[in-house]
């Protein structure tokens, strides 16, 4: 009997899931619901819920000194009972020490958990709806990624406009998007878009699994440490010769609300050049983009002095809110 090729089976399953997701057979949030259900009904200690894991650790921290002596063979059961009585003083002493240590550790972890919860309550975490508007980067990104071998990921892709453009150019493109309504809209349009965050999805991928990665959206509002962690995951997921593109609205395009409520702010293009070079990537292109929606709306045409007011509004939009959106394209050496 020939050996089962597990890698081939996994690839076939992944391809079938991709095909059915693109066909709209199930909503993009189904995978998250299945993960949550597994975490709920799985044995304690296997879930991602901190309280459940801590409760399991506390329950298992007590070491029983009275070892079982039952046996189907009577002589062996007798020997076990003799050994338990003979070594009871020693086993109980060791068990007490280990139990005391385990109890202290679990208590320390519980106290640390309470402190982390307190920090989370006072630490601001922005959500994707607060992110500044994205820009149309297809003119730069599509030519850079159309010819790469392997799959191309766009994270976070919104309703999938760039995913569609990449697919139309011949790339095997898919996307992830944390806002389920946007992911659903993209899936209903026939695009391979999954409801997930960029960080979570990249963390699940095997090394060198992708031919190209596009990072947008979250790179403009995540804290700097999270942005660097995201780049680590993206570079790890890129195959040698793969392309990484970063699109950003630029520091000046962020509205006051986003600037005040987000953990971080967009990097300058030169900062991205430095970060990607530091990860061993070769910078291929830094291009200016346009298309950021104006923050200040024009006054109605019938308003007295509308021409003068709108001319000044256009100047304010250009000076204060737009003009430095960009895309940075880098390649991983072979």
Last residue of a domain, one of 74, 98, 123: 123
Task: Please tell me the distance from the alpha carbon of residue 255 to that of residue 199, in angstroms, as a whole number.
Answer: 24
Task: Please tell me the distance from the alpha carbon of residue 194 to that of residue 38, in angstroms, as a whole number.
Answer: 19
* Beta pairing partners, 155: 176, 215
Q: Which residue has the tokens 């597994």?
A: 38
How does pLDDT run across 264-283, given as a tens digit for each residue? 788 989 999 999 999 999 99
218 upstream amide cis, omega within 30 of 0 = no
Same domain, 251 and 118: no
Same domain, 151 and 188: yes
Domain count, the chain: 2
Whole-structure pTM value: 0.61
Same domain, 169 and 110: no
Domain range for 304 is: 128-331
Angle at 297 (CA atoms; ends 291, 298), nearest 5 degrees: 110
Question: Maximum CA pair distance of the chain?
Answer: 107
**Which of 177, 205, 207, 206 shows the shortest CA–CA distance to 193?**
177
**Which two three-digit tokens encode residue 40?**
């709920």
Strands 282-288 and 151-155: unpaired
Last residue of a domain, one of 69, 93, 123: 123
Same domain, 307 and 200: yes
- Backbone dihedral region for residue 94 (phi beyond 0: left; psi -120 to 50: alpha; all else: beta): alpha
Task: Please tell me the distance from the alpha carbon of residue 146 to that of residue 165, in angstroms, as a whole number.
Answer: 9
Q: Please list the ranges in the chain whose pLDDT falls under 70.
A: 1-3, 18, 21-48, 120-134, 252-255, 257-259, 290-296, 317-323
Last residue of a domain, one of 72, 88, 123: 123
Same domain, 207 and 136: yes
Please check whether residue 21 lies inside any domain of the structure: no
Please check whether residue 12 lies inside any domain of the structure: no
Task: Please tell me the distance from the alpha carbon of residue 97 to that of residue 100, in angstroms, as a whole number.
Answer: 5
The confidence score (pLDDT) of residue 128 equals 47
Dihedral angle sign, alpha carbons of residues 215, 219, 225, 228:
positive
Task: Please tell me the distance from the alpha carbon of residue 191 to that of residue 186, in angstroms, as a whole number.
Answer: 6
The confidence score (pLDDT) of residue 73 equals 81
**Which of 228, 322, 309, 310 shows the shortest CA–CA distance to 276?**
228
**Which two three-digit tokens encode residue 316?**
């304010």
Query: Could you give the residue ranges of the DSSP H alpha helices within the chain?
Result: 6-22, 30-41, 50-60, 74-122, 138-145, 161-168, 180-188, 198-204, 224-237, 256-261, 269-278, 306-316
| Helix (H/G/I), strand (E/B), else coil: 112 | helix
The confidence score (pLDDT) of residue 132 equals 46
Same domain, 247 and 203: yes
Same domain, 63 and 185: no
- Give the Å distances, CA to CA, from 328 to 139, 274, 279, 287: 13, 11, 14, 7
Please check whether residue 89 lies inside any domain of the structure: yes
The confidence score (pLDDT) of residue 312 equals 83
């Amino acid at each position: 009997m020939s050996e089962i090729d597990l890698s081939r089976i996994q690839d076939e399953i992944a391809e079938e899931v991709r095909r059915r997701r693109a066909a709209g057979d199930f909503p993009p949030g189904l995978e998250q619901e299945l993960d949550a259900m597994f975490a709920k009904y799985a044995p304690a200690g296997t879930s991602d819920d901190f309280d459940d894991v801590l409760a399991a650790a506390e329950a298992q921290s007590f070491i029983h000194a009275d070892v079982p002596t039952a046996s189907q063979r009577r002589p062996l059961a007798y020997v076990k009972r003799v050994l338990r009585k003979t070594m009871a003083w020693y086993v109980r002493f060791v068990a007490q020490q280990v139990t005391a240590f385990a109890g202290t550790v679990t208590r320390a972890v519980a106290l640390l958990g309470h402190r982390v919860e307190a920090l989370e309550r006072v630490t601001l975490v922005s959500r994707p709806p607060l992110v500044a508007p994205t820009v149309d980067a297809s003119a730069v990104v599509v030519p850079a990624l159309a010819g790469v071998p392997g799959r191309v990921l766009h994270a976070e892709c919104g309703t999938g406009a760039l995913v569609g453009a990449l697919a139309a150019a011949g790339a095997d493109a898919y996307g992830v998007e944390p806002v389920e309504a946007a992911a659903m809209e993209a899936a209903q349009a026939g695009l391979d878009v999954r409801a997930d965050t960029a960080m979570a999805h990249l963390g699940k991928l095997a090394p060198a699994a992708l031919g190209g990665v596009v990072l947008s959206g979250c790179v403009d509002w995540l804290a700097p440490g999270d942005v660097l962690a995201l780049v680590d995951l993206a570079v790890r997921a890129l195959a040698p010769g793969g392309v990484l593109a970063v699109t950003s609205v630029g520091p000046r395009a962020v509205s006051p609300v986003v600037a005040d409520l987000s953990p971080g702010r967009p990097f300058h293009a030169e900062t991205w050049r430095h970060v990607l070079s530091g990860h061993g990537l070769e910078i291929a292109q830094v291009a200016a983009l346009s298309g950021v929606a104006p923050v200040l709306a024009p006054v109605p045409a019938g308003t007295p002095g509308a021409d003068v007011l709108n001319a000044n509004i256009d100047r304010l939009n250009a000076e204060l809110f737009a003009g430095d959106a960009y895309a940075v394209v880098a390649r991983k050496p072979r």
